[in-house]
Amino acid sequence: MALDWKNLSFPRQILPTIAVVGLLGAAAFILAGLPDRTLSDPAREPPHAPADLAAQPRVAGSGVVEPSSETVQIGSPLSGLVTRLLVEPGDRVGEGQLLFALDDRAVRAQLREAQAAILEARAAIAEAQSARATAGRQLALYRQVEDPAAVSRAEVIRAEGDANAASERLRLAQARLQAAEARAGSARTEIDRLSIRAPMAGEILAVNIRKGEFVSTMGGGGSQPFIEMGQTSPLHVRIDIDEEQAPRLRLGAPATVSPRGAADRQVEAVFVRAEPQVVPKRSLTNSAAERVDVRVLQVIYQLPETNGLFRVGQQVDAYIPAKGDEE
């Protein structure tokens, strides 16, 4: 039947056309509307095992970067006001290099006092020596006189007494000198103790004191270490291994380590040692409320030089080969 618009029947031609077109549209709508549930690759690369470990037994752990010396928290033997601060975080220092100094004015005053006392003692010694010489000469003079009447016995006894007293005065003055010297030495030691020096060569990691602050040996007030330093070349990484996984670990094998957030930059770290103690897991989230009942074996690895990729305190993901399942 030729298409004749006048004879177009609603139920026989238009309705089925609507139905077919509607069904086609519905099919398109349904297919277009199906939810997208395809799996997609993550936008940023997550940490994953290195290629050569992918198909092998392995143990994964997370860890924290630390200096090879571990972190040294520099303290102060004395309390006092910080008068000089000679380092900044990031500075490399040699062993014995001055880090900061405390207020030493009081001790220096004591030193000066002691030095004055030394001078005084020396003067007293000189005076005592000359007095002893005078008394000696006078006594010798009396002794040379043969005539007993010429010199009374009393004169001689007084002269002997003068000579003895002069010797005693000299010894006293010498003792005072020693005492003053000891005081000066003690003050110098104090002054030295007020200057805090690096116990070893390394890098300053944190400086928590400012010039003018009072540092106390009593702790308190945040109880932060005054200065943290450590040997950062090389860096170590302390990897926590779940105690259940620990027996599988192949001790001594190199680990593949990547920093959080840069999972594609994996480096190989050299085994240093495993800590003899299995310790409760230290939370890496720094939440005070965190208590965890699992224990971990800590394994120390040495990181290669990577030009700033790893920093002390950074969290890392690590993969370590495991013993085969045959064991």
Partner 1 sequence: MLWIAIRMLTGDAQKFYGLVFGIAFSTLLITQQLTIFVNLIERGASGVYNVSSADIWVMDPVSRTTDIAYAMPATALDKVRSVEGVAWAVPHIRAQASVRTGDGDLEGVAVIGVDDATLIGLPKRMLEGSTEVLEQPDSVIIDDVGATRMFPDQSPIGERLELNDQRAVIRGIADAIPSFTSTVVLYTKYSQALNYVPGTRNRLSFVLVGAEEPAQAKALSERIEHETGLKAQTRDEFAKDGIDFIIENTGIPFNFGITVALGFIVGVAIVGLTFSLFIRDNIKQFGALKAIGVTNAKIRRMVAVQAGLVGLIGYGLGVLGTILFIWGFASNPTFKGFYIPWQIPLISLASVALILALTGWLALRNVLRTEPASVFR
**Kind of pairing between the strands at 235-242 and 58-67:** antiparallel
CA 291 to chain centre: 25
Q: Which stretch binds partner 1 (CB under 8 A): 82-90, 94-102, 220-228, 282-290?
A: 282-290
Which 178-207 residues touch partner 1, going by CB under 8 A?
A: none
Footprint on residues 240-269 left by partner 1 (CB under 8 A): 240-242, 244-245, 248, 260-261, 263
- Binding-site member from 293, 307, 326, 327 for partner 1 (CB under 8 A): 293
Contact (Cβ atoms closer than 8 angstroms) between residue 103 and residue 215? no
Query: Is residue 56 within the footprint of partner 1 (CB under 8 A)?
Result: yes
| Nearest in space to 241 (alpha carbons), one of 61, 57, 53, 47 | 61
Q: To the nearest whole angstrom, how small is the minimum distance from the Cβ of residue 260 to partner 1?
A: 5
CB of 54 to partner 1, least distance (A): 6
Of the two residues 25 and 221, which places its CB atom closer to partner 1 in the complex? 25
**What is the C-alpha separation between 209 and 215, in angstroms, rounded?**
8
Contact pick of 7, 8, 29, 304 for partner 1 (by CB under 8 A): 29
The count of chain residues that interact with partner 1, using the rule CB under 8 A, is 65
Rounded to a whole number of angstroms, the minimum distance from the CB of residue 254 to partner 1 is 16
What's the angle, vertex CA 229, arms to CA 223 and CA 235, rounded to 5? 125
- 25 scored as a contact of partner 1 (CB under 8 A): yes
Applying CB under 8 A, among 5, 42, 154, 326 the residue interacting with partner 1 is 42
Name the E strands within 173-224: 195-197, 202-207, 214-215
CA distance 205 to 203: 6
Helices 105-144 + 153-193 axis angle, to 10? 160
CA dihedral 266, 271, 277, 280 (to 10 degrees): 0
54 vs 106 by CB, closer to partner 1: 54
User: Does the footprint of partner 1 cover residue 48 (CB under 8 A)?
Assistant: yes
d(C-alpha 246, C-alpha 284), whole Å = 19
* Contacts with partner 1, residue ranges (CB under 8 A): 9, 11-12, 15-16, 18-20, 22-23, 25-26, 29-31, 33-49, 54-62, 240-242, 244-245, 248, 260-261, 263, 281, 283-285, 287, 289-294, 296, 317, 319, 322
